[in-house]
A and B are shown apart, each in its own frame.
Chain A
Amino acid sequence: MKITIASGKGGTGKTTVSSNLTAYLAEHGKSVVLTDLDVEEPNSGLFIHGKIKYDQIANKMVPHWDSTDCTYCGDCANVCNFNAIVALSDEIIIHPELCHSCYACSELCPTNSLPMMPERIGEIKVFETENFDFVEGRLDIGQEMAVPLIGQNIDYVDENYDGYIKLLDAPPGTSCPVIEASRESDFVILITEPTPFGLNDLKLAVETMKVLDKKIGVIINRYGIGNNSIEEYCKDENIPIITKINNDKAVAQCYSRGELIYTQIEHFKNSIEEIAKFLEGIR
């Protein structure tokens, strides 16, 4: 079972919930793996302290110019729809950061002068704790496209953790990285807070998940602050509220230190238990 934890708005508690939930499930004997798909700013690893057991460089495929047989016909630049290739009369210039790895330039080149070669975009690391593994994707700084790395992360987890509960900690927002992090999941948990920002961004996230045809549930974090607009919205939309996590400065303080929270704060542990129970029910 694959579950994505997403949010729309940033800073609502995705990482807090996914790291605590993973540790809780593992402690209760479940085979569970966590992967951090917020590859631009991965920080689940700040809360989970494991030993590194594997790492690999993540690449994307981009064309490399081989001048030997090139006739400078310019077809490559013409077929590239992402402006990643400039064909001059004596040189072909490639902008790898704009390349979407569609292979058109390479495969349509009449002289095979643009072989596709791997180029580093980031890395994937696997950490081992006492009772679960944690897989982290980390985009190199200056790289624009998170999607290929997110996809490779999910592939790695799929290949190596068959039969596990897979928790996917998604990036914030509603655009391509979130879609990549959610599209193959069985269920998407949306975490929000009871404020107008939380509601606005929850609605955007819900609409996105509808387009993807995903089953969803909502967690209200910092419950008690703000207003009850989220509950009303979920009721109108028939979206289950999985749990409400009480607003509590002590939770924020544990988080600030990079500590797991459910082992320290009772009401938070109860919420994690409710999430675990809810997930039992959707299987």
Chain B
Amino acid sequence: MSFVLNEEEQMLRDSARSFLSETASVAALRKLRDENNPEGFSRDLWASMGEMGWCGILVEEAFGGVDMGVSAAGFILQEMGKELTSSPFLSTSVLAATALRVAGTEAQKSAWLPKIAEGKAVIGFAVDERARHNPDAINTVAAKDGNGLRLNGTKRFVANGAGADVLIVVAKTEDGAPCLVMVDPKADGVSATPRRTLDSQVPADFTFKDVKLDGDALMNGAQDTGKAIAHVLDVGRACLAAESLGVAERAFDITIDYIKGREQFGVPIASFQGLQHRSAHLLSEIELARSIVLKALRTLDETPSQAPIWAAAAKAKATAVSRLATSEGIQMHGGVGMTDEYDIGLYYKRAQAAGEFLGDDAWGAGQVAKLSGY
């Protein structure tokens, strides 16, 4: 396992860096927010990402993707975290694409993977049913109903759910076995409520009331659907951890620049040991997060059977570090850190939201304890 990026990965990262800083930066997020964009992201941007091949980063070439692996997806999200880019990349190109890949039927793959790769589909991945992440407590039921299924239950805060073309819903069968179903959000019995979150995203809550599904809505392409769901979530966690890492890195850079420029008592405040030690400690924490995120991404690509503990640990560490970096960022900015004008507050909000999604640091610690056998 290599802890350095290969040439192809470096090129991808560099092109993501220049593209995002030009077209999907913090300024773009502010614009979406101030215009009250109903979806919270730009469809034009999404189409551009499709043209560049990012949307199909986890899609096999046979379905029009570039199939570069989880690490590559993570590197893109890390850059997105730096710019606070708003897009359906995580929900669609990471979670949905992985779910289709590991659990989809041939028909489902043919129908959706090419569209994902082209940036022409937005797919919501619906897992959580309560305020805190808990994929072991699913109460949504997809019960047998003639040749098809009948879906009942609720899902909360489904990312990019408001304008999604289709939903992938984590449910259980009438026997309690985990299953995945694809649901048209416009179908009878589906009701969606968009929610606006502090980081200017627009996820949606869903209620499924006796929703009739055809038999081919069931994603039964995996030998063990429960394991497949766990894998999809681990891929999502590692990628989201990469985004949180990017949030931490940029928040740190902004803060260091600020304290180098801000003068009090006739000198830059960066010359005070009180701030120097906090800065050096923060860098140490960011270095830890960089390593464990990279380890989790690489493990998912190379030895996925060992990935669960690394994905949980990386998610926990990146969550904690991004929250620390951004809250320290506000403190070190002083009063202006509390204003909407300065960007550091936007990073603080994103760190909170990205940290919560798919399990925060406390959740990750619980997983690590469980997987370590204590």
The judgment on whether A and B are partners is: no
Partner-B contacts on A (CB < 8 A): none
